[in-house]
Amino acid sequence: MNRTSDTVNRLVMCLAGALVLALMWGPQEGSFDNFWFVINHSLFSARVLVFLALGVIVFLAMTFWPRVVPFLTRPGVWPLVAGTLTVIASQTLMHWADQVGDAKFGTVAKAAANTDGLSPLASAFFGGLCWALLVIVVLLLAAAIITGLRNFGWAAAALSLVAAVIAYISHAAVVDYVQKFGGGVDHSLGVYVCIVGYLVLMTAGLVVAMSDAQVADTRRTMNRVLGWRPGLPLVAIGAVLGIMAMATSTWFSPANYNATLADTRNLFRGTGLAPIAVQYLAWLGWALLAISLVLSGVASYRRIRPLGWAGAAVGWLGVLLTVLTLYRISDLGADLAVDAATGPWQNLGAGGWMACAALFLIGAGGYIAATAPRYSTPAVTATDSDAVATGRSASSSFLTAPGAVRSGIMIAVAVALFYPPTANGFWQSVLVSEIGIYVLLAVGLNVVVGWAGLLDLGFIAFYAIGSYTTAYLVGSLPVKPPSWLQMSPLLAIPFAVLICLLAGLALGAPTLRLRGDYLAIVTLGFGEIIRIVAVNADEVTNGSQGPSTQVPHPVIDLGPVSITWGLNQLQYWYLLLVFVLVVLLAFRRLEDSRIGRSWAAIREDEVAAQATGINTFRIKLLAFAIGASTSGVAGVFFASQIGFFTPDNFVLNNSILVVAYVVFGGMGSLPGAIAGAALLTWLPEFLKDQVPAADRQMWIGAAVLAMMIFRPGGLLPARRRAVELSGLQPRSTRLEPAAVPASEGI
Amino acid sequence: MNYLILGLTRGSMYALIALGYTLVYGVLQLINFAHSEVFMSGAFGSYAIVHLLVGDGKGTPSWAVPFVLVAGIVSGAVTAAAIAWMLERVAYRPLRKRGAPKLAFLISAIGASFFLSQLAGKLFGRLTSNAFPGFWDQNAVVFKPFGAEVRVLQVVIIASAVVMMIFLDRLVAVTKLGRSIRAISEDAPTAALMGIDIDKTISRTFVIGGLLGGAAGFLFGLNFSFGNTMGFIPGVKAFAAAVLGGIGNIRGAMIGGLLLGIVENLVPVVNIDTKWTDVVAFVVLVLVLMFRPTGILGERLGRAA
């Protein structure tokens, strides 16, 4: 194809895309009497010009892309882009103060402009300083990147830090102000996302300031920044969080009351609070923070391992004490009926949990400092030099800094442990019944689809079987189990797993000899059969109503240890976390085991795998059974958490969605499956505020489509896949009609 | 006997959709999950034209009915073909150029499918059962072989499906495009070496599949009802039909579609409650695959046609 027609093609594509976007932003459904209503209103209005202009801009960017590329490979560009977008997103889409209107940034800013008595810094921030700061930082960074002047980089980094602090202070001022007039607890996340954005921008500045070369080594410099002192980034984050938590954040907030750490101490002075909690509130909290900070910080800076262990011990002990204190004050607060406090674990502000996260991260920093390899070998591999040569970084070279991956995991753990208590009820239930369960399912399906390469479109069936097995065993179905078999939900886990395992074997044994696409339709059929049976076998399953009596909530009763799960979503969240953790640990071991490697072999080339002596049928069956039993666990959890469910929870669409989560996240990688499921289940709930509810699926479809077009390997591709996709073979020699690479035998 | 006619009607629509799956599978070895939305767009496209022609349908002269029908089929086919063409350009070609893993195609198609069905819902309303204007007496009984009632709509559906299938069969067997399609499904790299333009052929294959699917969309809309989520169930069934006949095999898709339609409608005859229809259909599918693991007619497009 010659150049002109290429260009014309691209222009047409961009304009068409712009028109589609215009349609997507357009008004809601027309009626059949007025068939073209929506199209008329979205395409023949002034707004379409904006979208067309956008299309032209994209077209220009694409056309001059080759000239832009050399700049893109300069250090710091990608963090700059990511950070800028994050800050913009936080200041346009996200909530900043829950009690103000629809809580978005614009609304809050408008409200702030109309109030007197807000601190001047805060009113300035909401009155335009926020955007000015962003623009200045971005300009500074751009200048630094283009000219290579390091001082600009340092300046930008410093300014980003200042901006982050200003954002935090302004947000705190607004929330304080609102609460003075009887607002409730604030759960908004906007400011935190904004701060994260500025921290990324700060990283960009540091990368620019610290890189030696001007070409193609963003990632190497990033790795150097991150790996300079393993654990130090975590300690730094922990320090910031901890000081924020202890100095300004709310610790205890029954109705109309909003107590920081110091206020809480005054509140509980002389009320018979347990001594350890009193000491914690008085000085022990700060002391723990300071001691662990010093220990971990020095340990990671000087790389002294024993000190690192000490830091970890103090930090994690601090977490324990903090949790204990939180329990004590909320419990006692309810007993004393302080401003209608309602009971243990209730009325706690974000501060305590933030302090927990901070201490946890500081401890984790110490732990990483104690375990990171002392001397890091520079990770310049073949792919790296290849990447430099082609002006493009290979994805496998990202995050090779010592401890970087582990730091990421630790941050994820901290968020998983200490974010949910600070979220509001809606997000807690989303976390449990959407995100958590689907993460578990995706991790299970990842074994089947990602590792063994078997396309299973009926995965939800096993989940249904798990749920119904639970319902049967606890006696919630019309068919009652014999009395000696009736049990509590958690005890049903082994049985549900066993039944799902058997179902997996029963489905797999006759069908696994089929090739990929036949397997897909058979599993799909199986899924539908299970659902239809559940709907129609009234006398067994109570038909489309679901189980006739409520499936009881889980209970653990072992003499001294007795936990009863009720309606509080948090309890389920931590139970789920335990499940996910156990499954993850088991699967991590499995991935590199003999079985895991056999799966990979089968996925890549079944015939060759057979030739090397792998019993492919048995190994595939094993994958099926393991995947099925994981979803059995999810089924038990689901049944006992929700109490009532119907066959509608197990429709075909959900099976397809789980496959989409796995592939979206990155086939065959555990972090990918988790991230994919979490992101795609979070997205619809997030979009609820942004677009009309009915359009959510459309945006999700578009997001999935775009992801696959621009990043076919998924969000976090497995390392093996990443190499397959971008490494090894030089681009130029790839055959034109590579519709299906010969190696992809699913 | 009545059930047989119903089955044939339904089956010929399945067959038309299944052909779309099979053609794409033939050239790309991929399940085109968004084909159900191609089918759906056919119904909407033809509605726009039919609505334009006959308004609310009252007082349409009887001589005009055949023309309206043809216009409906053609407009549905063209709309769907346009959608299918765009689908290939947007959701498949970029991935093909990058040599993406096979499942990535599947997921991008699923994304496209969600997107298209919801976009259609946003543009034209989300009612699930819209009806075409009643411009003719489509339930008039034409003739009664063996005591069964054959309605005029059923005749139209079966006849047009048969015509299109014969047309397609000849197209693939005789023309140059058909040869290219077969060559690619046999061995794409070699076909490329023989001077076949792979991109163009694939794109045209999608268009052909879209034409058939769109026509089926119109017929389906006439026979039942249509809406933005109408594609899902027939799509799954047609996919099953394609697999039943041997995916990638054109005659297999036709036979599979008819067979599936008939089996579904024979369920009440053998004294099984209709609520188990889908179960029976899938069980038949599984049984067939058990004994003939590559479907009834085997799977290569090249060999059978």
What confidence tier does A559 reach under pLDDT thresholds 50, 70, 90?
A: low
Q: Which residue of A has its CA nearest to B120?
A: A29
CA distance A353 to A250: 10
Would the CA dihedral through A22, A48, A711, A688 be positive or negative? Answer: negative
Asked if residue A734 has pLDDT above 80, the reply is: no
| Nearest CB neighbour to A704, from listed B110, B124, B127 | B110
What confidence tier does A465 reach under pLDDT thresholds 50, 70, 90?
A: very high
How much of chain A exceeds pLDDT 90, in percent? 16
- Interface size A-B, in CB pairs within 8 Å, comes to 209
Asked if residue A384 has pLDDT above 60, the reply is: no
Give which of A512, A705, A711, A728 to mutate to test B binding, by max B Cβ within 10 Å: A705
What confidence tier does A32 reach under pLDDT thresholds 50, 70, 90?
A: low
> Chain A window 473-512: which residues touch B at a Cβ cutoff of 8 Å?
510-511
Asked if residue A690 has pLDDT above 80, the reply is: no
**Strand runs (DSSP E) across chain B, as ranges?**
141-143, 150-151
Residue by residue, DSSP assigns B30-93 as: ---TTHHHHHHHHHHHHHHHHHHHHTT-TT--GGGHHHHHHHHHHHHHHHHHHHHHHHIIIIIH
Asked if residue A484 has pLDDT above 90, the reply is: no
**A671, containing H or E segment:** helix A670-690
What backbone phi and psi angles, to 5 degrees, belong to A714?
95, 180
Mean pLDDT across A358-380 = 77
Q: Position of tokens 């591709």?
A: A717
Record the pTM. 0.83
CA distance A204 to A154: 10
CB distance A522–B286 less than 8 Å?
A: yes
End-to-end distance of chain A based on CA atoms, in angstroms?
33
CA distance A710 to A148: 30
- Report chain A residues whose CB lies below 8 A from the CB of B121: 29, 694, 698
Range from A371-375, A404-408, B234-238 that averages highest in pLDDT: B234-238
pLDDT of residue A387: 44
Higher pLDDT, A643 or B17: B17
* Chain B contact present for A274, CB below 8 A: no
Question: Which pLDDT tens digit goes with each residue over B51-103?
Answer: 888 877 777 787 888 888 899 999 999 999 999 999 998 888 888 888 777 78
- Report chain A residues whose CB lies below 8 A from the CB of B89: 13
| Nearest CB neighbour to A528, from listed B106, B122, B282 | B282
What confidence tier does A397 reach under pLDDT thresholds 50, 70, 90?
A: very low
CA distance B19 to A718: 36
Residue B119, min C-alpha distance to chain A (Å): 6
| Nearest CB neighbour to B188, from listed A528, A713, A739 | A739
CB distance A735–B96 less than 8 Å?
A: no
Question: Which pLDDT tens digit goes with each residue over A116-135?
Answer: 777 888 888 888 888 999 99
**C-alpha separations of A201 from A78, A79, A162, A361, B172 in Å:** 10, 6, 12, 21, 58
* Chain B contact present for A132, CB below 8 A: no
> Chain A window 694-733: which residues touch B at a Cβ cutoff of 8 Å?
694-695, 697-698, 700-709, 712-714, 721, 724-725
What backbone phi and psi angles, to 5 degrees, belong to A557?
-135, 90
CA distance A198 to A137: 9
CB distance A517–B189 less than 8 Å?
A: no
Q: What is the 3-state secondary structure (H, E, C) of A54-87?
A: HHHHHHHHHHCHHHHHHHHCCCCHHHHHHHHHHH
Give which of A23, A28, A29, A454 to mutate to test B binding, by max B Cβ within 10 Å: A29
Question: Which pLDDT tens digit goes with each residue over B254-278?
Answer: 889 998 998 888 887 777 777 788 8
CB distance B293–A518 less than 8 Å?
A: yes
Range from A248-257, A309-318, A695-704 that averages highest in pLDDT: A309-318
End-to-end distance of chain B based on CA atoms, in angstroms?
31
pLDDT of residue B150: 82
Q: Which residue of A has its CA nearest to B227?
A: A32
CB distance B114–A700 less than 8 Å?
A: yes
Higher pLDDT, B78 or A282: B78
Beta bridge partners of B244: none
What confidence tier does A439 reach under pLDDT thresholds 50, 70, 90?
A: very high
Asked if residue A659 has pLDDT above 60, the reply is: yes
> Chain A window 398-457: which residues touch B at a Cβ cutoff of 8 Å?
449, 455
Residue count of chain A: 746
How much of chain B exceeds pLDDT 90, in percent? 19
Asked if residue A736 has pLDDT above 80, the reply is: no
CA distance A78 to A387: 16
What backbone phi and psi angles, to 5 degrees, belong to B195?
90, 20
Asked if residue A378 has pLDDT above 70, the reply is: no
CB distance A525–B282 less than 8 Å?
A: yes
Whether residue B255 contacts residue B8, with contact meaning beta carbons closer than 8 Å, is answered with no
Asked if residue A360 has pLDDT above 90, the reply is: yes
Burial of residue A566, with CB atoms counted within 10 A of its CB: 0-12 exposed, 13-18 middle, 19 or more buried: exposed
Asked if residue A652 has pLDDT above 70, the reply is: yes
What confidence tier does B196 reach under pLDDT thresholds 50, 70, 90?
A: confident
CB distance A536–B276 less than 8 Å?
A: yes
**Angle, vertex CA A570, rays to CA A567 and CA A576, nearest 5:** 105
Q: DSSP letter for A648, please.
A: G
Lowest mean pLDDT among A35-39, B155-159, B249-253: A35-39
Q: Which residue of A has its CA nearest to B293?
A: A514
CB distance B111–A703 less than 8 Å?
A: yes
CA distance A578 to A685: 24
Q: In A216-232, which positions are buried (b, 16+ CB within 10 angstroms) versus exposed (e)? A: bbbbbbbbbbbbbbbbb
Residue A266, min C-alpha distance to chain B (Å): 56
- Closest to A452 measured CA to CA, from A299, A627, A330: A627
pLDDT of residue A213: 59
pLDDT of residue A746: 35
CB distance B189–A29 less than 8 Å?
A: no
Asked if residue A719 has pLDDT above 80, the reply is: no
CB distance A708–B275 less than 8 Å?
A: no
- The rounded mean pLDDT for chain A is 81
Question: Which pLDDT tens digit goes with each residue over B98-122?
Answer: 877 778 888 888 889 989 988 888 8
**Angle, vertex CA B234, rays to CA B232 and CA B239, nearest 5:** 95
Mean pLDDT across A711-734 = 58
Question: Which pLDDT tens digit goes with each residue over A567-626?
Answer: 778 888 888 999 999 999 999 898 888 898 898 888 888 888 888 888 888 898 999 899
ipTM of this complex: 0.85
